[in-house]
Amino acid sequence: MATEIERKFLVLNDSWRQEAGERVRLRQGYLVGGEGCSIRVRSGGGKAQLNIKSAALGIWRREYDYPIPLNDAEEMLEHLCQRPLIEKTRYHVEHAGHTWEVDVFEGDNAGLVVAEIELEREHENFARPAWLGKEVSHDP
């Protein structure tokens, strides 16, 4: 079984950009989203994947990722996914031994900036960067 332990936070300001490394522009869309799970297609960085994630709120979820052909993903995004599509640029930011993913949203979600951290254990301690705001892990 694949699991994901992830915490999400709003971002207070742009000071994280000083530490930002790699970035990739992503497009994603949901094929199915319901009470049990969500199924989404994501493309970015010349790759694509199909992602299935349990819909439980909180920091622990079942998650499965499968690579798919980029052309198939682009076709699914164009013709099969619910609207609006999610467009964002993801930045990787190293801080105190962890890699944060900072997503800067565009399109219908422009102005939203969210930082995520994946953890090994549910109650794992981690250093909170100064730019980290309110936790939204339990906010759908």
Number of H helices, E strands in the chain: 1, 9
Among 13, 23, 38, which Cα is nearest to 100's? 23
Rounded Cα–Cα distance for residues 68 and 107 (Å): 25
Kindly list the catalytic residues: 30
Contact in structure between 7 and 134 (CB atoms under 8 Å): no
| Helix (H) or strand (E) segment spanning residue 134 | strand 132-135
Q: Count of alpha carbons within 13 Å of 33, Cβ hemisphere only? A: 10
